[in-house]
C-alpha cells in the first residue's frame, strides 16, 4: 500500500514537476484523486496529494507529523490560485458521477480550512456563480449542507457572494438572479446562510437589514420558485458510506426577516417576501415535513420582539400604539397560524407559551387560543 502511494506520488512527480507547470499537475492530481477517493483507506494519501499538488501547501518540514498539525502555508500566488480555480471548474464541468465529484469537493474543502483555502473556496464558488457552472454549484450545495449552512465557513462563502454580487455590483447580475434554476440546492443553502447574516440579534447588537439588492433578489427567487425552500430537502448524492447531514430550510431565517423588518425598514419587498413565505409554508403541508420551522429559530424571533418591547417600555410607549410592533405581530401571527395548521413547527406548546408572554396582540391571541385547545 505504501508502495502504491509512493508510486502514485512518483508518477506525479515524474510526470509534471509541480513548480514548473503548475496547473497541469493539479489537473493531473485531480484525475488521480478520482481513483484514490473510492478507496476508503487512502484518505490520508488523498489529503497529502491535495495539499501538495493542488494547493501547493508545504508544511514547515516534510513528514513532521506534529508540525503538520500547524497550518500549512501555501506557496500559491493569486494567479496560480486562479489557474487552480479554472482547472477545478473545468474538472467539475466534465461529465462524471455526482457522488465522485461531491466526494472530491468535500476532500478539497473540508470543514476546517486554512484561511487561504477558504478564500480560494469563496472565489471558486463566486466564479462558478458568475459562470453558472451548475455541476460545481451542485457540489458546493452539498458541501454547504455537509459542513452546515450556519457554520462560519458557509457564512464566509455566503458573505463573499453577497459582497461580490451585491455590494460591489452596480446592478444585480443575471447570474445571481438565475441561481435557483442553475443550482437550486446551493441557492437554498445560500439563503439559509444569508438569512442568518442579517436581522439577527445574535450576530450583532442592532438589527442589520440586508442590502436592498439582496432582499430584492431573494424576494424574486421566492416569488418565482415557490419550491425553492424545499430544494434543500433533496437527498444528497454522497459517496458510499458517507452520512448526510440534516438539512435546514431558509424558511425560519426568512420568516425572521419579514417579522422583524418593520422595526428597521418599511420596504414593500418584505411584504412580497412574506406572501411568498406564507405560500411556501402552505405547500409544506403536502410534503408533511415537521422540521421546516425549528422552534429555536422562532424563539429567536420572539426574543428579538421581547427586547424591542423592553426598549419600548423604557421610552414609555405602549406596544399597542406602536405601529411597527403591531405589524410585526400581525405577520408573525399569520405565519404561526399557517405553520401550525400545516404542522411544521416543532415543540408547539413551548412556542405558544412563549408567544403568550409577548404583549398581547389581537390576531396573535386568536391564533394562540385556537391552538391551545
Partner 1 sequence: MLRQNLLDQLKHFIETVSNGHSCPQLLTSPNLIKLALGFLEELPATRDIVFEYFALLAEISVQLYVSPEMADPKTGMPVSQVKQAGNRQQQQRAPEYEAFNLVKTALQSLVWKGPPAWSPLIANWSLELVAKLSDKYTQRRMTITASCNYWLECSAMHGLMTLINSCFRKLTQPEEEACVEIMLNAFHRFPMTFDWIVARLGGCFPYKIIMQILQCGIKRFVDDYRCHLDSEAGILDYMTSCHEQHLRAAFREMLREGFAPKKPLDVAVVPFLLITTNYSDTILQSLVNVLVEIYTEDMCEVIVQKSPLWLSNKMFAGMQPTLNNAVLRLNERGATLLLTAGKMAEKYVWCQDFLDNSMQELEQWVLNQRNFPLLADLAYEETKYMLWKSCLSTNLFEQQTAVRLLLVVSSQHPNIYYQTISQLLKKSYAQNPNGIGALIRLLGGQSGMVNFPGFTPGFKMVLEDITLDVQVNNRLPVPPGTPTEAFNTFSNLNILARMHKSKNVAPYIKAQHLNQALNECLPKILQIFECTVNKLVLRMDRDAAERIAEKFKAQQSKNNNNNNELCNGKDYGKRTKLEPGEDNVDDEDAIRMRLAHLIVDLLNNIEAGSRTTVLRTPLVLKLATLSVKYFFVGLTEKTVIRRAAASHRSYTLLQRQCSARKIARTVCLRELVERALFYHGHLLGQLEVYQRDELEIPEHEHLILQNLHTSSGANSNRSVLHSGIIGRGLRPVLPPSERNCDAEKQALYLKALNACCADLEKPNNVEGYSLVSLLLVELVSTDVMYNGLPFPDEEFTRVTMERDMLIRRAFINSPVLWAVLGLIAGHRPALCYSSVLLRALCATCLHHWRGKNVNRFQPTAANDELMLCTKKMLQLLAMSQLIPPPLTNLHLIIEHFESAEIALLLRECIWNYLKDHVPSPALFHVDNNGLHWRNTKLAKVPPQYVDPLRHLMQRKLSTLGPHYHQMFIMGELMEGDSEPDPTARLQIVEID
> Do the beta carbons of residue 25 and residue 12 sit within 8 Å?
yes
Rounded Cα distance, 229 and 292, in Å? 9
Q: Does 170 bind partner 1 (CB under 8 A)?
A: yes
CB 218 within 8 A of CB 191: yes
Q: Which is nearer to partner 1, 168 or 314 (CB)?
A: 168
Whether 156 contacts 118, CB under 8 Å: yes
Residue 168 in contact with partner 1, rule: CB under 8 A: yes
CB 157 within 8 A of CB 121: yes
For the CB of residue 253, give the shortest distance to partner 1 in the complex, in Å: 23
C-beta of 87 vs 254, nearer to partner 1: 87
Closest CA to 342 of 281, 295, 299, 297: 281
For residue 345 the three cell numbers come to: 413547527
User: From the CB of residue 111, how many other CB atoms can be counted at a distance below 10 Å?
Assistant: 13
Q: Find all residues with CB under 8 Å of 46, minimum gap 6, and list them.
A: 33, 36, 37, 107
- For the bound state, the minimum distance from the C-beta of residue 183 to partner 1, rounded and expressed in Å, comes to 13
Count of residues in the chain: 373
Instruction: Specify which residues 74 forms β-bridges with.
Output: 57
Binding flag, residue 220, partner 1 (CB under 8 A): no
Q: Give 80 or 234: the residue with its C-beta nearer to partner 1.
A: 80
Closest CA to 195 of 162, 244, 167: 162
Q: Closest CB to partner 1 among 59 and 172?
A: 172
When asked if residue 169 is in the footprint of partner 1 (CB under 8 A), the reply is yes
Q: Quick one: which of 173, 287, 174, 298 has its CA closest to 231? A: 287
Q: What is the dihedral of CA 40, 46, 47, 49, to 10 degrees?
A: 170
- Residue of 4, 35, 167, 287 that binds partner 1 (CB under 8 A): 167
- Residue numbers 85-124 binding partner 1 by CB under 8 A: 85-86, 89-90, 122-124
**Phi, then psi, of 58 in degrees rounded to 5:** -135, 120
Answer yes or no whether residue 48 interacts with partner 1 by CB under 8 A: no
Q: Which stretch binds partner 1 (CB under 8 A): 55-63, 151-159, 167-175, 229-237?
A: 167-175
Which residues inside 52-91 make contact with partner 1, applying CB under 8 A? 78-83, 85-86, 89-90
Interface residue with partner 1, options 173, 272, 279, 327 (CB under 8 A)? 173
> Mask of contacts with partner 1, 317-346, x by CB under 8 A?
------------------------------
The window from 10-18, 103-111, 168-176, 258-266 that contacts partner 1 (CB under 8 A) reads 168-176
Q: Which of residues 256-295 bind partner 1 (CB under 8 A)?
A: none
- 3-state class (DSSP) for residue 73: strand
Q: Which of 163, 200, 233, 265 binds partner 1 (CB under 8 A)?
A: 163
Contact of 50 with 104, CB cutoff 8 Å: no
The CA distance from 231 to 229, in Å, is 5
- By the rule CB under 8 A, 165 interacts with partner 1: yes
Determine the size of the site formed for partner 1 (CB under 8 A).
28
Q: Which stretch binds partner 1 (CB under 8 A): 126-134, 270-278, 319-327, 345-353?
A: 126-134
In the complex, least distance from residue 116 CB atom to partner 1, rounded to whole angstroms: 12
Q: Which residues bind partner 1 (CB under 8 A)?
A: 78-83, 85-86, 89-90, 122-124, 126-127, 130-133, 163-165, 167-170, 173, 175
Amino acid at each position: 500500500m505504501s508502495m502504491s502511494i509512493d508510486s502514485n506520488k512518483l508518477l506525479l512527480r515524474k510526470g509534471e514537476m509541480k513548480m514548473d507547470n503548475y496547473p497541469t499537475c493539479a489537473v493531473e492530481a485531480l484525475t488521480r484523486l478520482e481513483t484514490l477517493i473510492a478507496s476508503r483507506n487512502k484518505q490520508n494519501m488523498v489529503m497529502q496529494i491535495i495539499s501538495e499538488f493542488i494547493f501547493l501547501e508545504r508544511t514547515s518540514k516534510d513528514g513532521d507529523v506534529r508540525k503538520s498539525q500547524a497550518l500549512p502555508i501555501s506557496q500559491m500566488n493569486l494567479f496560480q490560485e486562479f489557474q487552480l480555480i479554472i482547472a477545478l471548474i473545468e474538472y467539475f464541468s466534465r461529465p462524471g458521477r455526482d457522488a465522485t465529484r461531491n466526494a472530491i469537493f468535500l476532500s478539497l474543502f473540508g470543514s476546517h480550512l486554512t484561511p487561504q483555502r477558504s478564500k480560494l473556496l469563496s472565489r471558486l464558488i463566486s466564479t462558478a456563480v458568475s459562470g453558472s457552472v451548475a455541476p460545481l454549484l451542485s457540489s458546493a450545495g452539498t458541501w454547504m449542507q455537509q459542513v452546515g449552512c450556519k457554520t462560519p465557513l458557509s457564512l464566509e462563502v455566503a458573505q463573499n457572494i453577497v459582497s461580490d454580487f451585491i455590494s460591489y455590483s452596480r446592478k444585480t447580475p443575471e447570474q445571481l438572479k438565475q441561481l435557483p434554476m442553475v443550482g437550486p440546492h446551493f441557492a437554498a443553502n445560500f439563503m439559509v446562510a444569508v438569512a442568518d447574516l442579517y436581522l439577527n440579534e445574535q450576530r450583532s447588537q442592532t438589527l442589520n437589514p440586508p442590502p436592498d439588492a439582496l432582499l430584492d433578489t431573494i424576494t424574486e427567487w421566492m416569488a418565482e420558485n415557490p419550491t425553492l425552500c424545499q430544494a434543500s430537502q433533496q437527498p444528497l448524492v454522497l459517496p458510499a458510506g458517507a452520512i448526510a447531514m440534516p438539512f435546514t430550510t431558509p424558511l425560519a431565517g426568512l420568516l425572521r426577516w419579514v417579522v422583524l423588518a418593520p422595526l428597521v425598514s418599511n420596504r414593500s419587498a418584505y411584504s412580497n417576501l412574506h406572501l411568498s413565505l406564507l405560500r411556501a409554508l402552505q405547500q409544506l403541508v403536502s410534503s408533511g415535513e415537521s422540521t421546516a420551522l425549528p422552534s429555536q429559530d422562532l424563539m429567536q424571533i420572539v426574543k428579538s420582539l421581547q427586547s424591542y418591547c423592553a426598549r419600548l417600555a423604557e421610552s414609555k410607549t405602549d406596544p399597542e400604539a406602536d405601529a411597527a410592533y403591531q405589524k410585526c405581530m400581525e405577520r408573525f401571527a399569520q405565519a404561526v397560524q399557517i405553520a401550525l395548521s400545516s404542522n411544521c413547527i416543532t415543540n408547539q406548546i413551548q412556542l405558544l407559551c412563549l408567544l403568550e408572554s409577548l404583549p398581547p396582540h389581537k390576531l396573535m391571541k386568536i391564533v394562540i387560543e385556537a391552538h391551545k385547545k
